[in-house]
Structure 1
């Protein structure tokens, strides 16, 4: 008992699905390489990273230790970078006077001749490198990480003092106003945006123990709301077949129309990357796509918007316009947090009772079948066989004249009387 307890405590905890994928991509490892290292299939690793399944037993322990090693190596690299950054100002300060004395003592070199113009065509870079080399995204990502770390520390300190209902109310008050505006831009339908946000928070309250310990609870709710809003089943609902007309808002009307003309996947990628400022791996993880696929979707979406609106051909301008639109667009108000919690509990009770009713119905039908079913085997009667050697039955024969006379005589005699019963002596 002690050995098993010690072994269980030594196993590192398994990070959330998004963190698993982030660690693998940060180490530049493919799903196939991880699958070969763990002795599983590539589809199994993909299901672990998307959260559809979770490893068990020895595979869970091996997977957790592998991810722990990845995280340790990444932390070591970050520490090395920080040390180099801290040492770089001192090295530059000491190297400046030496460089000045050497420049004063050595004569200036002759100017080199200008290089001949090259006739080679510039190489076409891959879309992934073009997006990842964006300095603006790197700076914004660094700022977001610092801000998220500060907010996470403050939230962790406050969460220890809050009850689950109070923590949910804080998350709802913080994320719901911005989330309903983003969902409205994603769908163009006010009622659907409000319904999607409320359904996402219903699911969050139903799975609150999982959401409360998530690295980004607002991102968890955002993913659930976006998935519900972009579901293709809404096209069969009469109220959501066409987007709502603009409600007297002229600012950003052309951009909103250009967004709605994009495919839902491109629209979501563009909104996450340029509207919310997520980096490319996070955008790919939330849209359940690879990083190259997310980059190609982003570039195609930008090109489509630039064709409709040439003023937004610059990525920086498009980023600013989308960010302003997500903050200023008018969207319907959502219900209060207690009402959402009560609605979620009622919905859970309804489906629980429905599941119990269906289970009872199945059990009753099974019991009725068991009671009414025959208890022993009754063979079916064998099919009839033709018997040979028996003459065919004959019909009534034709009466002779004597028979006809006798029948007439019998009919003339009264039907009742002794004469009919007592024979006469001739």
Structure 2
């Protein structure tokens, strides 16, 4: 079962998509699962299902990557004769179950764009072309791919360059510490993004002295207005706008990442657009259905006062490893101290109970001692004389009759 799809230009494949039934037919003809398509495009399997059923449509860079992937699936069917006669063949390549990811997603237009680009083709959990790489190389590829855009997103969420870079570094450090879990995650970029957003938007940063002073605003007045308007939004509305308008997620994925229902995420988005339209003149001049596209362009064009340059991937990975070693040594040292103190206590502690000696206390109100008093020297001599007298005894008091 085949069908010809017009792929005469790359722009047409990026801006237009086949019918919803055709998307499913192309995937099934290539013997691919939803998980394989999601890994190649850089989204979740649930998002691919919603695209095929028509519940949602891809937007932004996800749309470009999905269109390029479908075009690669349809290209071999469009010219079967040329595939048999020419060894180099047309631009499209057949994708079967053994090589599910030979089609590459569209490259991001700018490394500083706030939108999240598609997942790298040689992702560690899904190596392309049968090539295996080490964990460090896979981590570095993911970092180089996602860190610049993620730094820009966290800057738009916080307005602080230092906090944004620290949030990105903290997220990737945690990802490296839990790399087996991240490497097998269907959306590793989303995993890192969620950690970075949580750290950047933590309310505890307000108590830190380093964050009490505001960063220098952007040089362009329009950028200053945009950044001030975004920072004036509530935290949940700000995160929803960034995911939907900046990253380009659809509404169900935005709701899932913000831990809210889809209607709740839609209401937050409507209120956020209304608040931004009140503060940004350009946004108030366009109809509501075009506000998302305009916000995306404004986010992309914003230039901070200082460049957002994340540290190299090797430095972040090495810093995380050093931190783990320090924590491990600290834990071992504390365990040794506790064990030593426990042993010393067990040796020196008494092995039986000794009741404490009550200290002496003065007692008042006790009557004087009664009864026989202690004999004086004179009384003692008198007693001895009476006992030594031969007339001692009952005879003394019983006179004799003569």
Q: Distance in 2 between matches of 1:358 and 1:295?
A: 50
Correspondence for 1:368 among 332, 344, 361: 344
Give the structure 1 partner of residue 63 of structure 2: 143
For normalisation by structure 2, the TM-score amounts to: 0.58
2:276 aligned with 1:356, yes or no? no
Q: Distance in 2 between matches of 1:392 and 1:145?
A: 109
The CA deviation at 1:153 is 9.2
- The structure richer in helix per residue is 1
For normalisation by structure 1, the TM-score amounts to: 0.55
Q: Distance in 2 between matches of 1:355 and 1:191?
A: 30
2:368 aligned with 1:391, yes or no? yes
The CA deviation at 1:273 is 0.9
Q: Distance in 1 between matches of 2:55 and 2:21?
A: 23
Q: Distance in 2 between matches of 1:253 and 1:209?
A: 41
The CA deviation at 1:306 is 2.0
Greater shift, 374-383 or 199-208, is seen at 374-383
Q: 1:333 to 1:81 in 2, by over 3 A?
A: closer
Correspondence for 2:209 among 199, 215, 238: 238
Give the structure 2 partner of residue 250 of structure 1: 221
Q: Is the 8 A contact 1:271 1:322 kept in 2?
A: no
Q: Distance in 1 between matches of 2:335 and 2:153?
A: 40
Q: Distance in 2 between matches of 1:251 and 1:388?
A: 94
Q: 1:372 to 1:293 in 2, by over 3 A?
A: farther
Q: Distance in 1 between matches of 2:350 and 2:367?
A: 39
Q: Distance in 2 between matches of 1:221 and 1:139?
A: 21
Give the structure 2 partner of residue 342 of structure 1: 318
Q: Distance in 1 between matches of 2:201 and 2:364?
A: 74
The CA deviation at 1:160 is 4.1
2:276 aligned with 1:305, yes or no? yes
Q: 1:294 to 1:241 in 2, by over 3 A?
A: farther
2:223 aligned with 1:223, yes or no? no
Correspondence for 2:127 among 142, 146, 157: 157
Give the structure 2 partner of residue 205 of structure 1: 176
Q: 1:392 to 1:235 in 2, by over 3 A?
A: farther
Q: Distance in 2 between matches of 1:360 and 1:138?
A: 58
- Runs of 5+ consecutive residues of structure 1 not aligned to the other structure: 1-77, 87-134, 394-426
> How large is the Cα RMSD of the aligned pairs?
3.5
- Runs of 5+ consecutive residues of structure 2 not aligned to the other structure: 1-19, 29-53, 70-100, 106-118, 371-402
Q: Distance in 1 between matches of 2:59 and 2:176?
A: 31
2:147 aligned with 1:176, yes or no? yes
The CA deviation at 1:80 is 11
The CA deviation at 1:144 is 6.3
Correspondence for 2:292 among 314, 319, 322: 319
